[in-house]
Amino acid sequence: MHNQLDHIREVLLMGPGPSCVHPRVYQALSRPTLGHLDPSFISIMDELKEHLRSLMQTDNTVTLPLSGTGSAGMEACFVNLIEPGDRVLILVNGVFSMRMVEVASRLGALVDTLEFSWGTPVDPAAVEKQLDAHSYELVAMVHAETSTGVCNPVGEVSPLVRSTDALFLVDAVTSLGGMEVAADAWGIDALYSGTQKCLSCPPGLSPVTLSDRAFTKAKNRKQKVPNWYLDITLITGYWEGSKRAYHHTAPINMIYGLYESLKLFFEEGRDAVFARHREMHELLASGLSQLGLTMFVEEPYRLPMLNAVTIPESVEDEAAVRKRLLEEFCIEIGAGLGPLTGKIWRIGLMGHTAREDAVKRLLDAFDQVLSD
Amino acid sequence: MHNQLDHIREVLLMGPGPSCVHPRVYQALSRPTLGHLDPSFISIMDELKEHLRSLMQTDNTVTLPLSGTGSAGMEACFVNLIEPGDRVLILVNGVFSMRMVEVASRLGALVDTLEFSWGTPVDPAAVEKQLDAHSYELVAMVHAETSTGVCNPVGEVSPLVRSTDALFLVDAVTSLGGMEVAADAWGIDALYSGTQKCLSCPPGLSPVTLSDRAFTKAKNRKQKVPNWYLDITLITGYWEGSKRAYHHTAPINMIYGLYESLKLFFEEGRDAVFARHREMHELLASGLSQLGLTMFVEEPYRLPMLNAVTIPESVEDEAAVRKRLLEEFCIEIGAGLGPLTGKIWRIGLMGHTAREDAVKRLLDAFDQVLSD
């Protein structure tokens, strides 16, 4: 019987995620499945949580991978931390902060937005003004905006939010594992990420952390969390404590994958991993510049791991360029989203993709495709 | 650096799930990750949907694996199909129907329950009486109740529900792939399952199907689904149609795993797979009987894949028995849940676990442990 899995090509994943998976993570995925209450598995969970805390730079007890992709992390943070009628401020400058607006609104939050041009960062002065004039139960922002390639100044917004009573929620899907993310130092109450970006692991899990303050709010809600699957107090009953209570069956093998990717991160070392992401970003940016391509985002605000490139006017069919890169060169890059469709390409340098041979292969391919 | 994954033992998983994973599924999990919009991946998705339809015996367009475990499937079916104030009837005779009550109540449904003793099946006559006296927007039941080992008569309840306007929702987490599940013939409007039971795949995905009637209801809701991550109309925009819209990044490698497990199912053949589950169940039941153990459920209502065994009074510490089986024999069996804690063991014969060597190994181990 024909089996499509036998014919999967090795694609160099340079889009906005998933990124290339490390060979050791593939191995980890195929380790023998254990029961979700097996003491050996619980020991793996415990070590994984310690690594996650270190990666996120937090002492938060509630630090664990949720059984869904990064978007499940977003859903979980909002559904646990807000109740209908709560006032929420969302700092919007891309697809993922817009998604926050949609998620929070569906849950009955009264959402205010503060909008910034796509491709520019959140302006702390504007946030300060807004927080002086209005009070909120929660303020949310995206650290690394995957749709534009912009790095938002979480560290600068943090003291502004901390000077109010609001909880501070941060999307670190694309930044975690590729650049500094300091949950405690930045006063973050809730942070979620994904496995398929800088952690060199396939999509499927969403690492999250909640501060004690946030977890206390979740525990003292007026009404139960209207989402049993993502109820963090129930999930914590399985991930924490001396007696683990069954909630849902954990995705065992995906958890092996994340465990291994965290091992790889600490074996290479935090500083070395972040330096590699920066260096590969510089190599790519300078190579693109030599090809006559320009970056969409101003230099100081660029993310190392997500490079938005302005599509030159000479390119009539940008989809054809991406298609040729994929079909002829086995390289995937990303299209623009929303208002940036047709205006930018998005080149990911995340985790195992942030390698010199990958950058050179892409630059060579771009050179050929764009000069034809 | 010490790596716990290097020391994972091969445990014979004879609990209530996860069950043993087929070697080819492990291989599938470690195939190269593709982008979630790569045409090769979309082609894999398309074939997977066809296999799922065949497995579930349905022509429903909306048939796909959700990016979460079986409990996410339960959450998704309720959150898409009910709105606050909807009247819901849930047929309760175990943990998983109780979970349905909790999930639906949190979403604002007005839930009635019809309760049956744990270990006995739903009684269609009682359902008929209830449906004569009350009207509902949705009626929900569990096919294979994993907490008790009871097979509920979905095919007999179906015409009763179909004679009303209610949608009919069925949990087929443990039955799908191990016994007859005929979504269309049984008039089911929404069905969800999990990968970690009879499909020989690790936990992580929830195959679901929605009838046109159910999907139409989801599309015409008065308010948006209060769960962006599990909004089936958005998810369908990624899984269906000629232009696939990004919703969230699909768990690529888990989807490879499910694809392979469905291939295995159809290579062996539906009838052969079901016969194997029945035969292994009979082998186990007769072996247990020879050891002086009795089944918890009356013969006509027993599930082949989940065998509830009454713990003999001679056993003082049932947890010690399970611990010895795990530590000395590398066999996992399940404990009782809720009111059945300490009263039953649950022995799974699901998917790749339903093999003669597995049954014999467990019977030998039981013989040694119980006679000591």
Q: For every one of its 372 residues, what pLDDT tens digit does chain B have, with 9 covering 90 and above? A: 799 999 999 999 999 999 999 999 999 999 999 999 999 999 999 999 999 999 999 999 999 999 999 999 999 999 999 999 999 999 999 999 999 999 999 999 999 999 999 999 999 999 999 999 999 999 999 999 999 999 999 999 999 999 999 999 999 999 999 999 999 999 999 999 999 999 999 999 999 999 999 999 999 999 999 999 999 999 999 999 888 999 999 999 999 999 999 999 999 999 999 999 999 999 999 999 999 999 999 999 999 999 999 999 999 999 999 999 999 999 999 999 999 999 999 999 999 999 999 999 999 999 999 987
On chain B, the residues whose CB falls within 8 A of the CB of A47 are 4
Q: Do B145 and B170 share a domain, yes or no?
A: yes
Per the CB < 8 Å rule, is A259 touching B202?
Answer: no
Last residue of a domain, one of A223, A248, A266: A266
Per the CB < 8 Å rule, is A9 touching B21?
Answer: no
Closest chain A residue to the Cα of B34, Cα to Cα: A11
Q: Can you tell me whether residue A52 is helix, strand or coil?
A: helix
Q: Do B161 and B237 share a domain, yes or no?
A: yes
Cβ-proximal residues to A243 (8 Å cutoff; 6+ apart), any chain: none
Q: Which domain holds residue A363?
A: 4-18+269-371
Backbone angles phi, psi at A155, to 5 degrees: -60, -30
Q: Do A219 and A275 share a domain, yes or no?
A: no
At residue B339, the pLDDT reads 95
Angle value at C-alpha A265, between A259 and A271, nearest 5 degrees: 155
At residue A39, the pLDDT reads 96
Place of tokens 């006296």: B133
CA–CA gap between residue A342 and residue B5 (Å, rounded): 44
CA distance A67 to chain B (A): 6
User: In Å, what is the CA distance from B234 to each residue of B58, B68, B237, B238, B278?
Assistant: 21, 16, 5, 7, 39
At residue A241, the pLDDT reads 87
On chain A, the residues whose CB falls within 8 A of the CB of B254 are 202, 204, 251, 253-254
Per the CB < 8 Å rule, is A44 touching B4?
Answer: yes
Pick out chain A residues at pLDDT < 50: none
At residue A372, the pLDDT reads 78
Do strands A306-310 and A294-295 pair parallel, antiparallel, or not at all (unpaired)? antiparallel
CA–CA gap between residue A175 and residue A98 (Å, rounded): 18
Cβ-proximal residues to A82 (8 Å cutoff; 6+ apart), any chain: A88, A104, A107, A108, A109, A137, A138
Q: Do A12 and A118 share a domain, yes or no?
A: no
Per the CB < 8 Å rule, is A13 touching B33?
Answer: yes
Per the CB < 8 Å rule, is B35 touching A11?
Answer: yes
Q: Do A278 and A241 share a domain, yes or no?
A: no
- Percentages helix, strand, coil for chain B (3-state, rounded to 5) are 45, 15, 40
At residue A319, the pLDDT reads 97
Whichever domain contains A328, its CATH number is 3.90.1150.10
At residue B242, the pLDDT reads 84
Pick from A29, A40, A224: which is nearest to B8 by CB? A40
Q: Can you tell me whether residue A99 is helix, strand or coil?
A: helix
Cβ-proximal residues to B216 (8 Å cutoff; 6+ apart), any chain: none
Which pair of tokens denotes residue B13? 């998983």
Q: Do B12 and B90 share a domain, yes or no?
A: no
At residue A230, the pLDDT reads 98
Per the CB < 8 Å rule, is A332 touching B35?
Answer: yes
Per the CB < 8 Å rule, is A204 touching B202?
Answer: no
Q: Do A79 and A60 share a domain, yes or no?
A: yes
Q: Do B252 and B345 share a domain, yes or no?
A: no
CA–CA gap between residue A215 and residue A217 (Å, rounded): 5
CA distance B348 to chain A (A): 12
CA distance A132 to chain B (A): 31
At residue A242, the pLDDT reads 84
On chain A, the residues whose CB falls within 8 A of the CB of B7 are 40
Element (H, E) at B207: strand B206-210
Element (H, E) at A43: helix A39-56
Q: Do A311 and A195 share a domain, yes or no?
A: no
| Domain count across chain A | 2
Compute how many other C-beta atoms are within 10 angstroms of the C-beta atom of residue A130. 17
Pick from B15, B74, B226: which is nearest to A226 by CB? B226
At residue B243, the pLDDT reads 87
On chain A, the residues whose CB falls within 8 A of the CB of B111 are none
At residue B335, the pLDDT reads 97
On chain B, the residues whose CB falls within 8 A of the CB of A253 are 21, 29, 202, 204, 254, 257
Whichever domain contains A170, its CATH number is 3.40.640.10
Crossing angle for the helix pair A252-268 and A270-290, to the nearest 10 degrees: 80
* B3 Rama class: left (phi>0) / alpha (psi -120 to 50) / beta: beta
Whether the CB-CB separation of A192 and A207 falls below 8 Å is answered with: yes
Which pair of tokens denotes residue A354? 């942030």
Pick from A3, A26, A32: which is nearest to B263 by CB? A3
Pick from A8, A71, A266: which is nearest to B32 by CB? A8
Q: Do B14 and B38 share a domain, yes or no?
A: no
The size of the A-B interface in CB pairs under 8 A is 224
Whether the CB-CB separation of B302 and B295 falls below 8 Å is answered with: yes
CA nearest neighbour of A228 among B79, B232, B24:
B79
At residue B340, the pLDDT reads 97
Last residue of a domain, one of B251, B266, B281: B266
Alpha helices (H) along B86-123: 95-106
- Give the best residue of B20, B24, B33 to mutate against chain A (max A CB count within 10 A): B33
Which pair of tokens denotes residue B232? 């089936």
Q: What is the pLDDT of residues A199-213, one digit of tens each?
A: 999 999 999 999 999
The CA-based diameter of chain B, rounded to the nearest angstrom, is 66
Q: Do A173 and A186 share a domain, yes or no?
A: yes
At residue A42, the pLDDT reads 97
Measured distance between the N- and C-terminal CA atoms of chain A, rounded to whole angstroms: 40
Q: Do A244 and A275 share a domain, yes or no?
A: no
Last residue of a domain, one of A241, A266, A291: A266
At residue B1, the pLDDT reads 75
User: In Å, what is the CA distance from A223 to each residue of A226, A227, B224?
Assistant: 8, 11, 20
CA distance B330 to chain A (A): 11
CA distance B242 to chain A (A): 16
On chain B, the residues whose CB falls within 8 A of the CB of A257 are 253
At residue A21, the pLDDT reads 98
Whether the CB-CB separation of B230 and B66 falls below 8 Å is answered with: yes
Residue at B195: amino acid letter: T
Pick from B7, B67, B102: which is nearest to A68 by CB? B67
Q: What is the pTM of this model?
A: 0.98
Q: What is the pLDDT of residues A25-64, one digit of tens each?
A: 999 999 999 999 999 999 999 999 999 999 999 999 999 9
- Give the best residue of B30, B49, B261 to mutate against chain A (max A CB count within 10 A): B30
